[in-house]
A and B are shown apart, each in its own frame.
Chain A
Amino acid sequence: MADMDAHDATLTAPFAEPQAAKAQRLFSALRLLNQEQAKACAPYANMLYTLHPTWQEARTLDALPWLPVGLFKRAKLASVPDAEIVRELRSSGTTGSTPSRIFLDRGTATRQSRALANIVTDFIGRERMPMLIIDQSDLLNNKMALGARGAAVLGFSTFGRAHTYALRPDMSIDWEKIEAFLTQHSARPVLLFGFTFVVWQYLLEVAAAKGRSLQFPKGSRLIHGGGWKRLAERKISKEHFKQTIRTALGIDFVHDYYGMAEQVGSIFMECEHGRLHVPAYAEAIVRDPLTLHPLPQGQVGIIQVLSELPGSYPGHSLLTEDIGAILGEDDCPCGRLGRTLRVDGRLPRAELRGCSDTRAV
């Protein structure tokens, strides 16, 4: 697999490289990954030669081949022997559908956690804050086959200390535990982490219904991710979400992030200007939803994500089913370099009209 140690400089400074230099470097890394994966994963090679016949002629990032992200729900794709797999990630993406299965070897898992650490500390600093996890306390009981939420909590836990779960196994709020946490850590900022819909549905809505609000120490932060689908269904805007966090929890710093089980580590974090930042290990390309031609900045289309982190499965270039737009390059007022992105949601789920079983009978 690619020698990732050579990229230590970019690993420790994920937003310091200007877009042009980054695109050049990333292109070389991903082209190498294509060749390595094609050698190591026969199904991947078959797909490239059949459906992306010009894959070896690519000279730019947007000409590199991709796989549709939904493929990982239907095919088991790994490029290392079973014995080298240390973790299997599962994500369902959409409620009720078949989960994706992603196989990580040690190298990939390590690169993912280092990348994640560098990205997150760039936003919240290196000091480990007391951490309140907005999820059920028994989430991590099965570490070999982690769900998307479990994997995210496990990954983000390293950025905090004194980890406390805010919800009981039945997803009800554990008020005593939260209050004890607040009493113990009242002087300095704390870190909250949770899935967007869990934070909304199981913390904010329940607290509002009970007429309870909480006051977290000044400077505390909330990191949340996992997508807006369920909140969009309830017509909850991003602004309303943030405003509610401010009034109900007293938290001013809220960071959404965009990431997926198929590309753990190279997440896109939201800065104080509301833009999602593409880190040095990754790239985002927005494509026309029907022609798949790359779209210029500002135009809404399907998001393709590229990441140099995966080594144990051919998931370094994925066409997602998410919709969004590139907001800019090297020009965010927050000073971070690289592309910035907005994610608007997901393509509507395809309607099944056949005579046979629907996927969930």
Chain B
Amino acid sequence: MHAIELLIPLRNTEQAAITQRLDALQHAPLQAFSASIQAFLAAFADHILRDPAMRAAPELMALAYWFRPAALQALLARFQHLGELGLLRPRGVAFHVAPANVDSVFVYSWFLSLLCGNRNIVRLSRRENPQRDALLGILTELLARPEHAAIANANVVLAYERDNEISTALSARCNLRVVWGGDATVKYMRSLPLPPLATELVFPNRASWALIHAENVNQTSAETLTQMAGAFYNDTFWFAQQACSSPRALLWIGTPEQVQAAQSRFWPTVKQEIARRNMQDEPTQLAARLVAAHLAATEGGVILEGSLTDWPLRLSAQRFNATMRDGHCGYGLIYEIQRESLDNSISLFEACDQTVAYWGFEREALTRWALMLPDRAVDRIVPLGQALRFADRWDGHDLLLAFSRLVMIE
């Protein structure tokens, strides 16, 4: 068995002390949206939003913004609304398995679960990076304050090398297991038993799209087009196009002529946005894109738009097929697909598709379209520019409900 390293509330490697901490979780009940929880989250948000050094970390700024008091009030209002379904009580102890390489996702999952009144065990990967270290530093400092003692006692963040025995032991302690990661992690964690009364939420690999109405691009003003290109840039280039919700395929709706005209307006504007933001391509990213593009081309059926060294690198395709999906490396590689109408696009979507970031469509049209999509395909349809915005409704789950237990009083 590997050693566990306790990271929160205080760094510790003494195994007996860690076991004690975990045992103590059983006796640290919380109430959903309690004053102590809200005070802690407000302090956390305040700490990050006030620190000028954090401006360089937009993901952490977004995280803090998400848990600022005004946002908590909106979440509370929704929680109270859900309370009309029945009495919402915490599930108990939640065991969160965090993804190895998105620095902030574990905090969203953990804090939402905390807001619902759960005690939490959070497992981080061993991989360290500056953002993770900054986050842990802030959390350690806050949880050491006496006013947050109740929160400190109810939450444990730890790290260990992949280890069946540890993961099984932690699973045995939980009432809810939450697995963020790829398909391999989900498959692996599912092989480890849970107590009979525990439930599980999993967030495996997903893929995402941008959806643009070609004729509306052709008709729109230069100013709107610039805003739209900026929104596309944010969705596609933040997180290096490697988040589940980063669009990797771009579906154009319109006739071939309309789409061609729209592309010749849209792409130069995107390039201007890239230039305006002083963003530079990098040799390593180009190298990765070249491999992905060549892999996609082995099967034929794609057309290179522009040059191989373009950033973003554009490939026209008939479908976003398995080779393109599996081989995608992020870093600005876009598969462009054209369809005459939304109705004609239904068969393009697969179970693993998560987010569609749209531009130029009415809500009613999107609703009709969403009703026709295959069983599991597409969980989020959001305006272009909001693809990466974390939401308390994710991958088809209402997390406030999923992190709670519904008690019926009749």
Contacts and interface: CB of A to CB of B under 8 A. Distances in A.
Interface of A: 43-44, 46-47, 49-53, 67-68, 70-71, 73-75, 77, 289-292, 302, 319, 321, 347-358, 361
Contact of B244 (A46, A50, A75, A355): A355
Contacts of B182: 355-357, 361
Chain A to chain B: the 7 pairs with minimum beta-carbon distance, closest first = A357-B182, A354-B242, A289-B283, A356-B182, A43-B298, A50-B297, A70-B291
Contacts of A357: 100, 181-185, 205
Given A71-B294, A75-B298, A356-B205, A350 B284 contact: yes
A305 B286 CA distance: 18
B4 interface: no
B27 to A, nearest CB: 34
B180 interface: yes
Given A353-B239, A356-B182, A51 B284 contact: no
B290 A355 contact: no
A50 B302 contact: yes
Contacts of A361: 100, 162, 181-182, 184-185, 188
B315 to A, nearest CB: 8
Interface residues of B, number: 50
Contacts, number: 125
Given A50-B297, A291-B309, A70 B242 contact: no
Contacts of B184: 357, 361
Nearest to B125: A358
Contacts of A70: 287-288, 290-291
Q: Which of B205, B286, B327 has its CB near the most chain A CB atoms (within 10 A)? A: B286
Given A71-B294, A351-B240, 5 more contacts: A355-B206, A355-B243, A356-B181, A357-B100, A357-B205
B146 interface: no
A215 B309 CA distance: 52
A74 B293 CA distance: 12
B298 A46 contact: yes
B87 interface: no
A181 B204 CA distance: 57
Contacts of A348: 284
Contacts of B99: 354-356
Contact of B101 (A47, A50, A292, A358): A358
A354 B300 contact: no
B299 A46 contact: yes
23 contacts: A43-B298, A46-B299, A50-B300, A50-B304, A51-B294, A51-B304, A68-B287, A68-B294, A290-B286, A321-B284, A347-B284, A353-B239, A353-B330, A354-B101, A354-B242, A354-B244, A354-B330, A355-B182, A356-B99, A356-B183, A358-B100, A358-B101, A358-B127
A109 B246 CA distance: 44
B65 interface: no
Contacts of B141: none
B102 A353 contact: yes
Contacts of A67: 294
A288 B288 CA distance: 16
B295 interface: yes
A289 B188 contact: no
A70 B188 CA distance: 28
A352 B242 contact: yes
Q: Which of A46, A50, A71, A289 has its CB near the most chain B CB atoms (within 10 A)? A: A50
A31 B281 CA distance: 31
Nearest to B103: A353
Contacts of A302: 283, 287
A353 B101 CA distance: 5
Contacts of A354: 99, 101-102, 239, 242-244, 246, 330
B291 A71 contact: yes
A357 B125 CA distance: 11
Nearest to B285: A350
B290 A356 contact: no
B17 interface: no
Given A70-B291, A290-B309, A354-B239, A43 B299 contact: yes
Interface in B198-250: 203-206, 239-240, 242-244, 246
A349 to B, nearest CB: 7
Contacts of A43: 298-299
Nearest to A352: B101
Given A348-B284, A354-B243, A361-B162, A47 B102 contact: no
